[in-house]
Chain A
């Protein structure tokens, strides 16, 4: 079974609008971390935001916020005020356990296109 599911292969958003990228996860471990990475066309992987399973509040980093719904096992990324530079692939990832450095398991990604 897939650990991370991103159901939107591609998304379009108008510049300056907000967009939500979906991510659901599957784990039986009570301790886990959820990550979002951005991969622009140049290819590098850029860490955006992190949410721990025990965190009480949704994570925020600038224009990025994570809508964490633990009971539904979803960790959607919200990008506010989209910019043309936000056009990229976005990957949701999970680390199980609390050892801190087990590998991340990635979803297949969502390609976001921001339209002027």
Chain B
């Protein structure tokens, strides 16, 4: 089975440019999360969706960041304009709410991340 797929894996851009990161969650998963990882701040939640609807975007740093989930199989995280302090690894993760499972844990399945460098 395919896992969470993120693209691009690496992106180098110049300050002021628009950056779009993409995520395809695991088929059938109904939750999608965007996290950002930096050395200083660790893993931070940016936003998460349930059934394509944004539930909590309080972690989005500022208006330059936006995220969409137009359908169950695709999400984007956009930064416009980008700044050097946005340099980080951005992870997408998905999960399935299935409380009927005997050993349900609700673990998050992560993509391989998109490493963004803004010069």
Taking beta carbons and an 8 Å cutoff, which residues of A are in contact with B?
33, 35, 37, 42-45, 47, 50, 52, 91, 95, 99-101, 103-109
Contact = CB atoms under 8 A, between A and B. Distances in A.
B42 A106 contact: yes
Given A100-B97, A101-B95, A47 B107 contact: yes
A63 to B, nearest CB: 18
A102 to B, nearest CB: 8
A34 B111 CA distance: 20
Contacts of B89: 43
Given A43-B89, A107-B42, A100 B110 contact: no
A contact face: mostly helix, strand, loop, or mixed: loop
Nearest to B89: A43
Interface string B15-43: 00000000000000011010000000011
